[in-house]
A and B are shown apart, each in its own frame.
Chain A
Amino acid sequence: SQQGEEDPQALSIQEGENATMNCSYKTSINNLQWYRQNSGRGLVHLILIRSNEREKHSGRLRVTLDTSKKSSSLLITASRAADTASYFCARRTGANNLFFGTGTRLTVIP
């Protein structure tokens, strides 16, 4: 990828379980954003965490950021079959570019 890596590449869980995805990056950031992509479609923004923030919540989503380790994690609690999608972290550098990682393909089994 251009700037980041998600881990794991693929994740399969049962409905109701929690899903955790990790993102690592190499250079400094202004913020880190998480996006979701359903198969063959455009990306949808989920949540943004600034470089001076450590944790953020939005509904069933929880994002953490550790700038010392250059890593972030996305937790989806009480997963649903409709959460099946690819999830990408994106790093904002300066005020301009938004670089995406390789993505985690999440499958939630009903």
Chain B
Amino acid sequence: DTGVSQNPRHKITKRGQNVTFRCDPISEHNRLYWYRQTLGQGPEFLTYFQNEAQLEKSRLLSDRFSAERPKGSFSTLEIQRTEQGDSAMYLCASSFGGADTEAFFGQGTRLTVV
């Protein structure tokens, strides 16, 4: 499968624990996005990478959230000291080239904080 891959698909964690999600974009896609989506809402932008550089972060991304994209390939999103409000679907997308390109989405990681 050459699409965007996200792992794990589901994660249940206790409040206060740290979690890390991984996203493997489509090979050679230089752009990578993270979004958060809650039930009945649209995806909310969290952060964006061009190659290994994190070019933009949403104000939604508190200091408990950190994202990396070492070597411009896969990316990780870590949430420290999880809170119940962090429960959501975390979506990763990648694209190649300039502005007039579509984004390809992974299936997402569903996080439940209990």
Contact = CB atoms under 8 A, between A and B. Distances in A.
Q: Do these two chains interact?
A: yes
Interface of A: 1-2, 6, 30-31, 33, 35, 41-45, 48, 50, 88, 90, 92, 94-103
B42 A92 contact: no
Contact of B103 (A1, A41, A45): A45
Contact of B56 (A44, A45, A50, A96): A96
Nearest to A48: B102
- Interface extent on B, as a size class? 20 to 34
Given A42-B105, A43-B91, A88 B42 contact: yes
Contact of A92 (B4, B99, B107): B99
A45 B83 CA distance: 32
Contacts of A48: 100-102
11 contacts: A1-B44, A2-B45, A41-B107, A42-B4, A42-B105, A44-B105, A45-B102, A45-B104, A96-B31, A100-B43, A103-B42
Dominant secondary structure at the A interface: strand
B90 to A, nearest CB: 11
A103 B41 CA distance: 7
B74 interface: no
Interface string B54-72: 0110100000000000000
A103 B100 CA distance: 21
B100 A88 contact: no
Closest 6 CB pairs of A and B: A45-B102, A42-B105, A100-B42, A95-B99, A43-B105, A30-B99
Contacts of A101: 42
B50 A96 contact: yes
Nearest to A6: B42
Given A30-B99, A42-B106, A45-B104, 13 more contacts: A1-B42, A1-B44, A33-B102, A35-B105, A41-B107, A42-B107, A48-B101, A50-B100, A90-B103, A96-B56, A97-B45, A98-B93, A100-B42
